[in-house]
Amino acid sequence: MKTQFTLIMLILFGIRPLLAQNDCSDAITVCGNTGFTGLNATGGGNIDEIFNGNNDCSVTSEANSLWLRLPINTSGTLGFTLTPLNPDIDIDFDFYIFGPNATCGNLGHTIRCSTTNPAAAGSSSNQTGMNDVETDTSEGPGEFGNNFLQWLTVQAGEVYYLVIDRPINPSGVTLDSDFSIEWTGTATFYASPEFVNPQLQSTDIVKCDDDAIDDQMTLFDLTTNETMFLAGQPDVVLTYHHNVNDVITGENPIANPSAYTNTSNPETIYIRMSRTTTECFVTDQFEIKVTNPVTAGQPDNLELCDFNETGKQKFNLTTNDALIRNGNSSTSVTYYASQSNAQQKVNPLPGLYENATTTIWARLESTGSCQGHDIVSFTVTVTPLPDIIYTLDVKDLTEEDNSIAVVMDNEQDYEFAIDNGSFSDNPLFTRLETGQHTVYIKAKSGCKTVSEEVIILNYPKFFTPNGDNENEVWRIPYLNLHPNAQVTIFDRYGKIITAFTGSGSWDGTFNDYKLPSTDYWFVLQLTTGRIIRGHFSMIR
């Protein structure tokens, strides 16, 4: 059958791959005088309708052809300019015109034919066509001519056939290119109908699934926008189709468009507007969509520590209900172990669900009049208890800054605190006062915290054993917490004056003899192997 529609629509639907226009019987009927672009001539068709004897250009066959049918609506002059989109001078298009009132069964002899090769003729461009300047009606082949012929004088009611052909050059190599055509002259073709949409509103049709079955399928009235589309245009009919091929050919229209159940969601519907008095039509498309009345919010991932070290924990899945409902109270939430189960709504999980680390699928379902659901996933994670391995680097008994540094293999997985301070990523604690401190190390997973008591020691720089009951003895504060520590005191000559353990002290005597005011030295040995040396003064 013939194919007829406004040529501008060719670009919209890419007609070339869908239908062959290589033969007269498949010619495209031109409607409206709007130019077009994006066409191509490929293949010679099933019937060789250009042959030696029916043209004045000595051509014996078609190579790569495109047939256009030109019905004339108003009389006048008719010309055109064909411009290849590729400006390469070796791109060559020929054309032939049959008519007036030619038919595919009786084309007759060409009234125009141009087979000039632009490169051979020394042309400045590879354009071709008909205009009001030329006087010749045929030209070519090869170097003969200048690519343009005299335009036609046509009468209303006449029908012409324009054949665009892309020949094969002598080397056997044919350069391809899409092309555009611009119509010139005063004659007009029949006008196509027009889809009217004055407000440029969306023509998509959206409904909720209101048939009590949650399958994203429902009944649509495809004719909802017909009155707007037609806008009173006479002699126009609308048909609705499932695909591009059918809307172009006019075949297989939807039987009852006012009561149509969608077959997918969303679904594209193709609409054809045909003028009954001519062979012109236009096409368009719109979507029908079953809207989902619910949209699931994003739930939180749930995490529990493996306190019983079994690899499984009991999760309260319902803690995510409010997040998934996303403020929509007319919904229900159920949980599933797989996406397939959630989609099929089988084997729901209990609210308290014991399992190892896995993915949970939540189904949010409408409980209102519009059916619909949404599915979203989150993870439940059982976190193993970490082995917190560390050492403490304690610096005390200094005249400067006492500090504790926590040394770990991987500090970024842990955070640290001392005494009543807050946790941070900093494992170093400085400016510590003498006394007992508690260092805390917490896994960032929250699954384990360990602590250790640390004693920061310092020694007094002097003492005054003068009987006033103040500073009467020299001792190291908090050393009693290291009961096995050993302290040895010397005079300036290295003579051992006394020795005592962690809870001991020195009163400034040697064998009950009061020693003089001066400086004395000490060595402190801790059970850790650490040795600290220092000195202090006795003042009487």
- Above 50 in pLDDT, residue 493? yes
Q: Answer yes or no: is 281 within a domain.
A: yes
343 and 395 assigned to the same domain: no
Q: Is 297 among the domain residues? A: no
Of 383, 409, 424, the one marking the end of a domain is 383
Confidence of residue 169 (pLDDT cuts 50, 70, 90): low
37 and 131, same domain (yes or no): yes
pLDDT level of residue 367 (50, 70, 90 thresholds): confident
Residue 1: is its pLDDT beyond 70? no
End-to-end CA distance of the chain: 128
Using pLDDT thresholds of 50, 70 and 90, give the confidence band for residue 212: low
Considering the domain architecture, whether residues 36 and 151 belong to the same structural domain is answered as yes
- Band of residue 34 on the pLDDT scale cut at 50, 70, 90: confident
**Domain limit, last residue, from 383, 400, 430:** 383
Position 384 pLDDT exceeds 80: yes
For residues 505 and 513, give the distance between their C-alpha atoms in angstroms, rounded to a whole number.
Answer: 16
Task: Show which of 456, 480, 509 is a domain's final residue.
Answer: 456
317 and 411 share one domain: no
CATH of the domain at 530: 2.60.40
In a domain, 163, yes or no: yes
Establish if 295 belongs to a structural domain.
no
Q: How far is C-alpha 521 from the geometric centre of its chain's CA atoms?
A: 75
- Give the tens place of pLDDT for each residue, 413-449: 999 999 999 999 999 999 999 999 999 999 999 999 9
Pairing of strands 352-355, 531-538: unpaired
Q: Is residue 106 part of a domain?
A: yes
Distance CA 438, CA 453 (A): 5
Least confident of 123-132, 141-150, 365-374, 380-389: 365-374
Return the pLDDT at 338. 97
Sign of CA dihedral 116, 119, 121, 126: positive
Reported as a pLDDT band with limits 50, 70 and 90, residue 210 is: confident
The dihedral sign for the CA sequence 259, 262, 265, 268: negative
- 93 and 59 in a common domain: yes
- Are residues 317 and 233 part of one domain? no
User: What is the spatial distance between Cα 257 and Cα 466, in angstroms, rounded to a whole number?
Assistant: 115
pLDDT-derived band at 172 (thresholds 50, 70, 90) equals: low
Judged against a pLDDT cut of 70, whether residue 5 lies above it is answered with no
C-alpha span between 396 and 214 (Å, rounded):
73
- Do both 94 and 15 map to the same domain? yes
| DSSP state letter for 200 | -
Strand, helix or coil at 152? strand
Residue 219 and residue 142: Cα distance in Å, rounded? 62
The confidence band for 294, taking pLDDT boundaries of 50, 70 and 90, is confident
Q: What local confidence, expressed as pLDDT, does residue 170 receive?
A: 56
Encode pLDDT of 83-119 as tens digits. Answer: 999 999 999 999 999 999 889 999 999 999 999 999 9
pLDDT value at residue 412: 73
In the chain, how many domains are there?
5
Same domain, 64 and 176: yes
Q: Are 32 and 172 contained in the same domain?
A: yes
pLDDT tens-digit map of 304-313: 999 999 999 9
Mean pLDDT score of the chain: 89
Contact 232, 316 (CB under 8 A): no
Q: For 355-380, what is the mean pLDDT?
A: 92
pLDDT value, residue 50:
82
List of E strands, 307-357? 313-316, 331-336, 352-355
Are residues 12 and 99 both part of a single domain?
yes
Q: What percent of the chain has pLDDT over 70?
A: 94
The answer on 449 and 512 residing in a single domain is no
Which of 365, 25, 421 minimizes the C-alpha distance to 215?
A: 365
Q: What is the pLDDT of residue 10?
A: 39
User: Residue 266: is the preceding peptide bond cis (ω within 30°)?
Assistant: yes
Look at strands 486-490 and 496-501 and give their pairing. Answer: antiparallel
Q: Which domain holds residue 502?
A: 462-538
Task: Give SS3 for 491.
Answer: coil
Q: Measure the CA–CA gap between 5 and 222, rounded to whole angstroms.
A: 22
From residue 297, alpha-carbon distances to 291, 300, 327, 377, 459 in Å are: 17, 10, 9, 10, 63
Note the pTM of the prediction, 2 decimals: 0.50
- Between CA 229 and CA 318 the distance in angstroms is 51
